[in-house]
Amino acid sequence: MRNLNHWIAACMGIGYLKGGGTIAAMVTALAWWLLRDVEHFTVWSVILTGLVILVGTITATKVESDWGKDSSRVVIDEVAGMCVTLLFVPVSVLSVLSGLVLFRFFDIVKPGYIRKMENLPAGKGVMADDLLAGVYSNLIVHVILYLYPWQHF
């Protein structure tokens, strides 16, 4: 990788792998699971999510001139979307896996306004579709938790 922006946008090289978006989302879900017991996890998860969104938008914009519009090598957007998916969700195996499946579904199929978000300029468009996919996924996980609280989802 030629520079720091490439390294960040590709999430340390994950973006160069086949299925990099899915791998980046899986690594994020695993990290979220492993960090669940950190003191003040909710506060740290909000800070981390905000930083990933900010840094992701900047780096996705900067690498566009080298890699083209919304390159598959840029996977920091999947990391951001997965963070949004899991934000404020009680961390359990089922909730994290459900969030992962829902996020990848919305990110791949792009229903509703998700596809339209890609039309935003540069890094904003790269990030916005994944962030909205994360919002949709997060809302559905919360609805499931509300409807089936006894399952300790």
> How far, CA to CA in Å, does 68 sit from each of 13, 104, 123?
17, 22, 11
CA nearest 84: which of 120, 59, 113, 50? 50
Residues of the domain holding 14: 4-151
CA distance 100 to 33: 12
Triad 66, 128, 72: Cα angle to 5°: 40
Tokens of 133: 């996919």
The values of phi and psi at residue 134, to 5°, are -65, -40
Q: Summarize pLDDT for 91-143 with one digit per residue, the tens.
A: 999 999 999 999 999 999 999 899 999 999 988 999 999 999 999 999 999 99
Give the confidence band of 150 by pLDDT, cuts at 50, 70, 90: low
What's the structural domain count of the chain? Answer: 1
Q: Summarize pLDDT for 28-41 with one digit per residue, the tens.
A: 999 999 999 999 99
- Amino acid 71: pLDDT: 84
Q: Is 27 exposed, middle or buried (0-12, 13-18, 19+ CB in 10 A)?
A: middle
